[in-house]
Structure 1
Amino acid sequence: MSQPGRPLTEAVMFFSQWGVCKQMLFPEFEALLDGMVSTPEFADETMDAVFLQISSRLHVRGAVFFTIDFDQDGNISPLWNLPLRLMADKAGRGPDMGGGPIRLACAGFTRHPQFKAHLWKPGQRGGRSDLLHIKDAVTRNTLGILGEDDNALAMLAAGQLHMAAEDAWFGEQENGKPAPDAEAVLGAERDHHKREAQELRQQINALQTELQIVQQARENDMEMLRQSHREHLDVLQGEMLDIKQSLEEQQQQNLNLKRELSKLQHKHPVDPG
């Protein structure tokens, strides 16, 4: 543990297929999250990364192995949001990386199963373990972490890395209590998914009800339009019928006048002389 007055330094390291390819202090990572800077070399990539808590003796005290997406411009997706500090503080007991067992959170070993999809499990790359890559990067101290004394680096030779067996990562927690039982974790995850499914069903039912109301209102509006159209059509048809009847009456009157005129002409023939 670090001495009083010397808080842990927080940093983030990114991995390529060969090992650590980029590292930065956590304030720089926060600038990435805020969109103040970008990383074009990670454009359109999903990167393996690790959040580290490092003591002034250059001992790793906590590690959260997470994945993070970058867009085509090298910016972090605004939807990405993992509580890295909280996950590190609440993490279970992991391997000894030279300064005692670290707090570890990764895929398959986390107290926050809701974030499991955004975690990865350290393994091998470039012929060496990911933990050794981290150890070497911390030892080189390119981040410029202020150490307690000049003997710190001498204590951190790679050969002094005491790595616990991987199955021991899931042993007792630092408070002496056993690690979360896998069945209990799965049960909690099932309950979480069940609650989510129930909430989704409620949202779907509410949306269906709202859709039915909208459809009914639309149908009512359409019926009113159809009724108005029918009434208007009835008026037009009535007017057309009146006009037709008036026209027929006028034609009949004209016919009667012609007949009367013809009779008069026969009674009083016109004298040709």
Structure 2
Amino acid sequence: MSFQEAVFILHEHEVVAGYRLKDFEQQVRQGASLIGPSGDYLCAAYVQVGNHQCAEAIVLFQLPVQCSGADIIARPDWYMPLQRLADNAGPGPNMGAGRIRLACQSQCSVSWHRQSLWEPATSDFMAIRKALRDSSLVQQPLPAAVAPVSADSSPLSAVQRVSGVSPGSLLAQKHDAPEVEALKQMLRNEVDTYRKQLQQLQQEIERQRSLNEALQRQTEQAESGALTARQAEELKQRHAHQLSGYQQQIELLQAELELARLDAETS
């Protein structure tokens, strides 16, 4: 297998725990306590990670849990074909090595699993990307679990909770690298490219809207013989579908733009 598999638990757009997939499955089978907020379910992310330490596929799933005292335990009857969903997932944002495959509530290849998935925000992708980068999954073992922040301890960032490394030392390591300026320039160029693509898509959306308005006028005049109402409606639906596709592309590019901007600021 050319990739590694991990499961991250997220809460309020931050990673609070990380497991290798086999360790996560063992925790679930054995009814061991998991780390995360109390409630009916945990927001989890199954991630396929390539040799470049970047996500290749993500499945955002809800893990049903039950509380046993202070312990949070996965429900014993839970099952989801995570790898199958990842293999057949739709397009997602660029997480550092091209567009990922993404399965979430709005796009799921198996309809009856749709309600067991959740819908991400851009900050969720940022949190997963930071967790992968800071835990050095390919080079070092991923922690079996990340300890939660105690009430009397000083606040820890998501980087510290996942990797145990302070942001200051990570920043020093980055700026010691001789290629850092070249990397920053590359990221700035990537941001500019995403902006241009967004502008082009927005212009195309405006063009499609103009076409839809023209089609609406043609529909109203259909009885005069220029176009039948049925033909006009078919054309209108076709352009509406194209418009929806452009809108989805804009949302993906906006997520990629935000990820690239974050890297440009923190590199």
2:134 to 134, 140, 147: 140
Unaligned runs of 5+ in 2: 141-176, 199-246, 253-267
Query: What's 2:249 paired with?
Result: 168
- Cα deviation 1:87-128 (Å, max 9, x = unaligned): 00111121111101111100111111110110001015xxxx
Query: What's 1:72 paired with?
Result: 67
- Cα deviation 1:178-197 (Å, max 9, x = unaligned): xxxxxxxxxxxxxxxxxxxx
TM-score by length of 2: 0.51
1:156–1:88 distance in 2 versus 1, CA, 3 Å: farther
TM-fit CA distance, 1:33: 2.0
- Cα deviation 1:38-85 (Å, max 9, x = unaligned): 226555541111000001111100000001121112221012111001
Distance 1:169 1:105 in 2: 18
1:82–1:169 distance in 2 versus 1, CA, 3 Å: farther
Alignment of 1:146-165 (within 5 A): 146=139
Distance 1:49 1:169 in 2: 25
TM-score by length of 1: 0.50
RMSD, aligned CA: 3.4
1:94 to 84, 92, 95: 92
Checking the alignment, whether the CA contact within 8 Å between 2:31 and 2:73 is kept in structure 1 is: no
1:85 to 83, 86, 90: 83
Checking the alignment, whether the CA contact within 8 Å between 1:35 and 1:75 is kept in structure 2 is: no
Query: What's 1:47 paired with?
Result: 42
Number of corresponding residues: 158
Which structure has more relative contact order (CA 8 Å, sep 6+)? It is 2
Checking the alignment, whether the CA contact within 8 Å between 1:94 and 1:170 is kept in structure 2 is: no
Question: Which one-letter code corresponds to 1:56 in the other structure?
Answer: N
Query: What's 2:264 paired with?
Result: none
Alignment of 1:176-191 (within 5 A): none
Checking the alignment, whether the CA contact within 8 Å between 1:93 and 1:169 is kept in structure 2 is: no
Distance 1:40 1:132 in 2: 20
Distance 1:33 1:55 in 2: 25
